[in-house]
Amino acid sequence: MHRITLSGTESVLTCAEEDVILRAGLRAGMGFSYECNVGACGMCKFELLDGEVEVLRHDTPGLSERDRKKGRMLACQCRPKTDCTIKIRQEAQCVPKSLPSRQVARLLETVDITHDIREFRFQAERPAAFRAGQYAMLTVPGLGQERAYSLSNLPNDDGLWCFQIRRVPGGAGTSVLFDQLKQGDAVMLDGAYGLAHLREETERDVVCIAGGSGLAPMLSIARGWSAAPKSPSRRLDFFYGGREPRDICGESLLRTLPEFGDRLQFHAAVSAPGATQTKQWTGHVGYVHEVMSAVLGEALREREFYLAGPPPMVQSTLDMLQTQYGVPPERIHFDRFF
């Protein structure tokens, strides 16, 4: 255990030997700025004023040359080696609603969603405390590196954590999950994390935009939206983008929600309808953000947005919403894993 003193405050927290500064802070209920937990978003920059840390990853995209020159580090990538004094930003929105913690979870069952996306259901001892749209870090035996996966279900007292994971061709991580992990096998689950969770309090109509395994958190958002008390006129439009028709998913899962077909609409878009299939595609063709723009147009200006998917999809959507439709960033929720 090492003591971390937060400069400019009265706070001192303890950080377990194997833990990183960011998570130690969140586990203690502090609102350290963050999004991704994996060194990409650049939100958890801090300055080390005293003490020594071990840096886990040096080539993180979250730090610019300029940040490095100024001696900034990422709290998600630093393990204290001694007691430390740090200067770090805290924000009310980053204070976790339930404190993230590590626990063992066992694979209960799997369900194939598409040709390359599979749902993995894990059973843990303690209640599954998270917010719709959040993610957890999984350490899988034989895989070494811990990875962030989004939850697709809703928080529950049964300890059920469901992830929908896309098989990455040639990817070591997903190969272990898809080909080796068996029912009853144990993984280490650490969570929950993430700021792209459902804002139950907002009175706006919602748009969810997903691609690839971004299905999971958007499904969780839609399920949470459906379950939350809200004005009976509220709408949710769910857009899912894929390359080919066989990539499209989510509709059958959303269909079970009472608002489906009425105030909850599903829109699928494929960018390359004839790539490897001859099957006729009669739906939208194009990138999902373009289809969203064509379907909703000016109504986009007043909506609340949740995004998850491949980086180019998220970036193009973000660019369009902010630049073309003038949507302020506070109304666009996503965790930047790139």
Partner 1 sequence: MSTVMQVKPEAALAGGSCAGVRVCLAAQVPDGGSHRVELPGRPALAVFNLDGQIHVTDDRCTHGDASLCDGEIEDGVVECPYHQGAFDIATGKPVAAPCSIPLRVYRSRVDAEGVVYIQLEQ
Cα–Cα distance, 236 to 201 (Å, whole number): 15
Smallest distance from the beta carbon of 102 to partner 1, in angstroms? 26
Helix (H, G, I), strand (E, B) or coil at 92: helix
202 binds partner 1 (CB under 8 A): no
Smallest distance from the beta carbon of 62 to partner 1, in angstroms? 5
Smallest distance from the beta carbon of 56 to partner 1, in angstroms? 17
Smallest distance from the beta carbon of 185 to partner 1, in angstroms? 36
Nearer to partner 1 among residue 170 and residue 328 (C-beta): 328
336 binds partner 1 (CB under 8 A): yes
Exposed e or buried b for every residue in 151-176, given b needs 16+ CB within 10 A? bbbbbeeebbbbbbbbbeeeeebbee
Of 240, 208, 210, 211, whose CA–CA distance to 224 is shortest? 208
Of 43, 78, 218, 268, the one binding partner 1 (CB under 8 A) is: 43
Smallest distance from the beta carbon of 225 to partner 1, in angstroms? 24
Q: How many CA atoms lie within 13 A of 64 on its CB side?
A: 3
- Window of 61-69, 106-114, 210-218, 241-249 that interacts with partner 1 by CB under 8 A: 61-69
- Partnered with residue 165 across adjacent β-strands are 118
- Window of 62-70, 103-111, 177-185, 223-231 that interacts with partner 1 by CB under 8 A: 62-70
Exposed e or buried b for every residue in 231-265, given b needs 16+ CB within 10 A? eeebbbbbbbbbbbbebbbbeebbeebebbeebbb
Structure tokens at 31: 């609102």
Nearer to partner 1 among residue 73 and residue 269 (C-beta): 73
Is 135:149 a contact under the CB 8 Å cutoff? yes
Of 29, 261, 297, 329, the one binding partner 1 (CB under 8 A) is: 329
Of 80, 129, 78, whose CA–CA distance to 103 is shortest? 129
Interaction residues for partner 1, span 21-40 (CB under 8 A): 33, 35, 40
Residues that bind partner 1 (CB under 8 A): 33, 35, 40-43, 45, 61-64, 66-67, 72, 89, 315, 318-319, 322-323, 328-330, 336
